[in-house]
Structure 1
Amino acid sequence: MKTFLKYTLASIVGVIIAFFIGIFIFFGVVGSIVSSSKDKTVKIKPNTILHIKLDKKIVDRASNNPMENFNFQAFKTENNLGLNDILQNIEAAKTDENIKGIYLDLTVINAGIASIEEIRNALLDFKKSNKFIVSYADYYTQSSYYLATVADTIYLNPEGIIELKGLHAELMFFKGALKKLDVEPQIIRHGKFKSAVEPFMLDKMSEANREQYNAFMGSIWDKFLKGISEQRNISIEDLTKYADNLSIRNPKSALKYKIIDGIRYKDEIISELKDRVNIKQNKKLKLISISKYKNVPKKPKHKHLVKNKIAIIYASGEINMGKGSDKTIGSEKLSSTIRKARLDSTIKAVVLRVNSPGGSALASEIIWREVCLTKKVKPVIASMGDVAASGGYYISCAADTIVASPNTITGSIGVFGLLWNGEKFLKNKLGITVDRVKTNKYADLGSMTRRMTAAERDIIQTSVEDIYDTFISHVAEGRNMTKEKVDEIGQGRVWSGENAKKIGLVDVFGGLNKAVEIAVEKANLEKYRIVSLPKQVDPFTQIMKQLQGDVATSIIRNKLGSEYKYYERIQELTRINGCQARMPFDIDIH
């Protein structure tokens, strides 16, 4: 008996010790991850070149979640940059005496077309400093080449590829797959262009959808050609001819038609950069990445802490009810953030940075209301990113001024409802039948196990029409138009920023910096500082949240890589609930 108790007690003590050791190791690992994610001050030496490599996905504001881009092999967080960081650092490099020029390394670029436009404009402004910009790539996509054209010199690998062929977009349709599965999409919509539901009811694009695609893609392509023409001194007619004939097939043809300035290997580029900054060839070239350069101490604009503030409120992702996340807009969190900015007397103006395809109509209405209330007491400027459409436009339309890139995708003023009928799927594919009991006639309205009745469809159609009427009324009020005019340009139609300005949906071309300039002017400020909202959660809390469930998402994202977007879109479908003010599609233009 004594032996039994001895071993039992030893086992219990062993378990307790192992538990505490495990806790110690766990917090040690968490501490290590948090420590690796913290920004460390970087010192910069004279004759340094800013190395801009845009191979990670560029978002408006990078998450401070250390687990989001954690490399388990290297056991460190791979720093992710937001567009705000990129723009601020290009601006800082312009006046930094230690930065002699910029090296654009553009083999891979992962950004939306409006974000590329903002970076391009920042680089054009940088050139006013008379510092050099050199671009090199093994492979130029059309987007990366458009960005590269701001450079003084463009180089391409001798065996590299450069694209100049025009834009194309592909839409996937699920009508046939749903038919085979015996799943019926029940669709209610308003607007002939509100084609969000077309993939579920058609097997090809409608003429109205094709019309809007041709219009906004043509507008974006024209902007590309104009920008390239201005910087490369090649006529738009010649560029169009090169694209139509696919004349740019290899580096030699690119050089022949003056699309590039030289054919070089990377070591030759490094050698040229050394010459540009007067470094001997046997010495190491001093390059600093933009992720490290953001940690270089910058000279403060003012000697003392400035009280007056401009708040940049970031609204990125699909619009849903609730708190949302770093990648989605939650009505509760965003409306609360706008409300706090309104009540904060030190915040003199608000820039609402919108990058959203829309989502829940009700969530959009809640956010819109807070924008309206804020507008009554201080200037509100909407800054549109890559996409600010449908619900994204809904929450922007009340702003005093709307700023967008010519390449922004916007509009899509329309509403739809989508309910699924899986009755035949359950019965024919799985052998499951459903019976029901209800206390009232419409108690099971919206059930996925039966088809809607004609009366139920009429009820939902009325709801969609009412929400659409509210939507266009808000736009008419915010944009000083008649409802009839908004309805004419609405109908769910998608517009490029270029076309949106012509029809009055946008006021000014520009990016986030332009929106801040307008906010400062309207608030009549001489001295101010920028605050970014909503406040980001500290890294430790982010990790704890990750361990509570988000870790599965991180694993899936890491495994799927660039294909994760398709998984994300399927997840978005499962979250559709109620009437939606959402973009008709997720746009991939190549």
Structure 2
Amino acid sequence: MREFFKYVFATVVGVIISLVLFTLLFVVVIVGVVSSLESDKTVSVSSNSVLYLNMDQAIKERTPDDTFSNLPIVGGDGEKSIGFNDILKSLKKAKTDDDIKCIYLNVTSPNAGFATLREVRNALIDFKTSKKKIIAYSEVYTQSAYYLASVADKVYLNPEGALEFKGLSSQVMFFKGALDKLGIEAQIIRVGSYKSAIEPFINDKMSDKNREQVTAYLTGMYNTFLEGIAESRHISTPTLHQIADDYKIQQPKDALAYKLIDGLKFKDEILDELKSLSGKDKKSNISSITINDYAKNINADKSESGKNKVAVIYADGDIVGGEGSNAQIGSERLSRTIRKARLDSSIKAIVLRVNSPGGSALASDVIWREIILTKKVKPVIASFGDVAASGGYYIACAADSIFVQPNTITGSIGVFGVIPNFQKLLNSKLGITFDGVKTGKYADIMSTNRPLTDGERLIIQTDVNRVYDTFITHVSEGRKKSKAYIDSIGGGRVWIGTDAVKIGLADRTGSFNDAIVSAAKKAKVKEYRVVEYPEMISPLKSFMENSTDKVKTYYAKQELGDSYPIYQQIKSAISKSGVQTRMPFEIKVN
């Protein structure tokens, strides 16, 4: 009888769990369907409208499907996001749209890299040629926010607000002390004295080589930052440098005194000015449309046609084997996309849009091969975003031409492998020991419960050397330089976009649109339409395939709060398998 009740109880519990999961799935599907119907709706643009450009949302390479944005456990975060490609298309359309009278730029802390901000900034400069005005307003401007806002016809700050203007800084987090306390040894195999991805695990501060390259690229980014503001605000670059160096902007009135802004105003005064610019009197309501809705209208417009196409293929995120996700570059998914574009006779040229710190060396080589084959059939132009380094450079080095922004981070031609040794942690801290048998001397190579032997280290180093030789060979062939020269500028060193052009790793500085125009020109087509690949993975499919990981990530974020990025970095470092062609570290510029 006890066994009977035990099985009945187990069955009941199973049924309840199944019902809960089914209910959750049902809710997700219904929400998805409703949201999909809502997202397909276009938003009418009233005459005399203000285009509201909110740049505090996440700026991605492409606008993600926000079907589940309000369901955090499914993968959303409840926040808006938009692709920089849609921002560019929207600003181009708004420039000639008679219903759009001006732009209201609201930005405090944009969630985008400096190269992406420069693309948007230049699009705003182009919008101004229409003689339509841009008004920027914020209660607080971070430096990246001010870099973008400075292009506006009028830059306003709240009278009690703040404007940050102090110069750029970059910090690297080091884990060696923590690993030592835990009894974990990071066994490093690498090629390239500048390949500093492993430094956080073996050092407690920057090496001289790393400090040299960080100083070089940070200085390059800062120069681009100052030059852009200098041109827009009509203040000399040396003057701006001095203002930042002496930390002269401490109060809102200081920003006005040094002409970084045009006035100190409250929000109601800004609204009155927007009414005036859009042809409304003070008693009327402002007609406005958000950049997100305006972009949907453009994407819903299927009137664009043409037999010839230029395909933009996005390579965004870490490079991994297999299919990957919308936030990763899966070698199978991307190589299949490139292959299809190569075989499609209506596609006359390809633009490979890269925004990646690198990843798996093998996955990078798989993608590189498809670029090589495609290049023989039709033009391939590479356009680099915020970062196209290590594996991100690897996959694009064979392109006919490479476009960078002046502040793009690229290069990092180097290879490394990390094999953690948990012996001290397991033996001394936890009292866990291991024993076993093997049929070959190297049968347990890569074991993480003991240190590498000299023979094992030699084997792994030989493999890393081989991958590095393959890497610089591919780059030398793609860039038409000697291997010795590529080795001399490689070694894992990171370069800023302007320097990359000087040393031959890139061909010219130019925008995303410049790369598209160049691809069409090389293909000798004058009329064409742009198509974008690969197709985005639907949120529902992503949830169904990765539901366990999404739930774990959700609860980890809730539990760790601001410490989640630290946990994420450690987890990411430990999870890397195989030889890596990866950016030296995650760059965060303040």
Within a 5 Å distance, the mapping from 1:254-403 to structure 2 comes to: 254-296=255-297, 305-403=305-403
Structure 1 residues 556, 174: closer, same or farther in 2, change over 3 A? closer
1:476 aligns with 2:466: no
Structure 1 residues 248, 435: closer, same or farther in 2, change over 3 A? same
In structure 2, what is the equivalent of residue 234 of structure 1?
A: 235
Within a 5 Å distance, the mapping from 1:475-554 to structure 2 comes to: 475-545=475-545, 547=547, 549-554=549-554
Structure 1 residues 202, 532: closer, same or farther in 2, change over 3 A? same
TM-score by length of 2: 0.93
Q: Which amino acid aligns with 1:94?
A: K
1:53 aligns with 2:54: yes
Contact 1:185–1:420 (8 Å) recurs in 2: yes
What is the alpha-carbon root mean square deviation over aligned residues?
Answer: 2.5
| Distance apart, 1:466 and its partner CA | 1.1
Report how many residues are paired. 576
| Distance apart, 1:177 and its partner CA | 1.2
Contact 1:382–1:402 (8 Å) recurs in 2: yes
| Distance apart, 1:77 and its partner CA | 6.3
Measure, in 2, the Cα distance between the counterparts of 1:510 and 1:562.
Answer: 36
Measure, in 2, the Cα distance between the counterparts of 1:82 and 1:94.
Answer: 19
In structure 2, what is the equivalent of residue 7 of structure 1?
A: none
Q: Which runs of 5+ in 1 are unaligned?
A: 1-11
| Distance apart, 1:348 and its partner CA | 1.0
In structure 2, what is the equivalent of residue 27 of structure 1?
A: 26
Measure, in 1, the Cα distance between the counterparts of 2:466 and 2:79.
Answer: 47
In structure 2, what is the equivalent of residue 218 of structure 1?
A: 219
Q: Which amino acid aligns with 1:474?
A: H
Contact 2:73–2:550 (8 Å) recurs in 1: no
In structure 2, what is the equivalent of residue 162 of structure 1?
A: 163
In structure 2, what is the equivalent of residue 419 of structure 1?
A: 419
Contact 2:386–2:407 (8 Å) recurs in 1: yes
1:465 aligns with 2:465: yes
- Secondary structure of 1:282's partner? coil
Larger mean Cα displacement after TM superposition, 290-299 or 308-317: 290-299
Q: Which amino acid aligns with 2:181?
A: K
In structure 1, what is the equivalent of residue 581 of structure 2?
A: 581
Q: Which amino acid aligns with 2:238?
A: E
Measure, in 2, the Cα distance between the counterparts of 1:180 and 1:560.
Answer: 21
Summarize deviations over 1:90-135 as a string: whole Å, max 9, x none.
Answer: 1111111100111100123111111101100111111111110010
| Distance apart, 1:39 and its partner CA | 2.9
Summarize deviations over 1:306-327 as a string: whole Å, max 9, x none.
Answer: 2221111111111111111111
Measure, in 2, the Cα distance between the counterparts of 1:559 and 1:428.
Answer: 29
Measure, in 2, the Cα distance between the counterparts of 1:25 and 1:213.
Answer: 48
Contact 2:157–2:252 (8 Å) recurs in 1: yes
In structure 1, what is the equivalent of residue 207 of structure 2?
A: 206
- Secondary structure of 1:58's partner? strand
Larger mean Cα displacement after TM superposition, 530-539 or 261-270: 530-539
In structure 2, what is the equivalent of residue 116 of structure 1?
A: 117
Measure, in 2, the Cα distance between the counterparts of 1:571 and 1:459.
Answer: 26
TM-score by length of 1: 0.93
Larger mean Cα displacement after TM superposition, 34-43 or 472-481: 34-43
Contact 2:311–2:341 (8 Å) recurs in 1: yes
Measure, in 1, the Cα distance between the counterparts of 2:347 and 2:558.
Answer: 39
Contact 2:109–2:144 (8 Å) recurs in 1: no
Measure, in 2, the Cα distance between the counterparts of 1:327 and 1:129.
Answer: 36
Structure 1 residues 381, 76: closer, same or farther in 2, change over 3 A? closer
In structure 2, what is the equivalent of residue 446 of structure 1?
A: 446
Structure 1 residues 16, 213: closer, same or farther in 2, change over 3 A? closer
Contact 1:385–1:511 (8 Å) recurs in 2: no
- Secondary structure of 1:325's partner? coil
Summarize deviations over 1:288-319 as a string: whole Å, max 9, x none.
Answer: 1111111335897977x322211111111111
- Secondary structure of 1:268's partner? helix
Structure 1 residues 442, 149: closer, same or farther in 2, change over 3 A? same
Contact 1:30–1:543 (8 Å) recurs in 2: no
